[in-house]
Amino acid sequence: MFQDTRKKMQGHLDHLHEEYGKLQTGRASAAMIDGVMVDNFGAKTPLKGVASISIPESNQIMIQPWNKDQLPSVEKAIVEANLGLNPQNDGIAIRITIPPLTEERRKDLVKTVHRLAEDARVSIRQDRQDAHNKIKQLKKDGDITEDDVKRLEKDLQDIVDEFNEHIEASAKKKEEDVMKV
106 and 92 co-located in one domain: no
**CATH number of the domain enclosing 62:** 3.30.1360.40
- The answer to whether residue 84 scores a pLDDT higher than 90 is no
Q: Cβ contacts of residue 94 below 8 Å, gap of 6+?
A: 62, 63, 64, 65, 71, 74, 75, 78, 87, 88
Q: Give the separation between CA 70 and CA 110, rounded to whole angstroms.
A: 36
174 and 112 co-located in one domain: yes
pLDDT at 181: 63
110 and 174 co-located in one domain: yes
The band of 50, judged by pLDDT with boundaries at 50, 70 and 90, is confident
Average pLDDT over residues 161-165: 96
Average pLDDT over residues 125-154: 92
Q: Which domain holds residue 47?
A: 27-97
118 and 169 co-located in one domain: yes
16 and 38 co-located in one domain: no
92 and 113 co-located in one domain: no
The band of 164, judged by pLDDT with boundaries at 50, 70 and 90, is very high
Total domains in the fold of the chain: 2
Average pLDDT over residues 158-173: 95
pLDDT at 1: 75
pTM higher than 0.75? no
Last residue within a domain, chosen from 45, 73, 97? 97
**CATH number of the domain enclosing 122:** 1.10.132.20
Average pLDDT over residues 35-56: 86
66 and 80 co-located in one domain: yes
Last residue within a domain, chosen from 74, 97, 120? 97
Q: Are 26 and 20 in contact (CB under 8 A)?
A: no
52 and 79 co-located in one domain: yes
Average pLDDT over residues 63-87: 86
40 and 129 co-located in one domain: no
Last residue within a domain, chosen from 97, 132, 155? 97
pLDDT in tens, 16-32: 998 888 776 777 778 78
137 and 91 co-located in one domain: no
106 and 17 co-located in one domain: yes
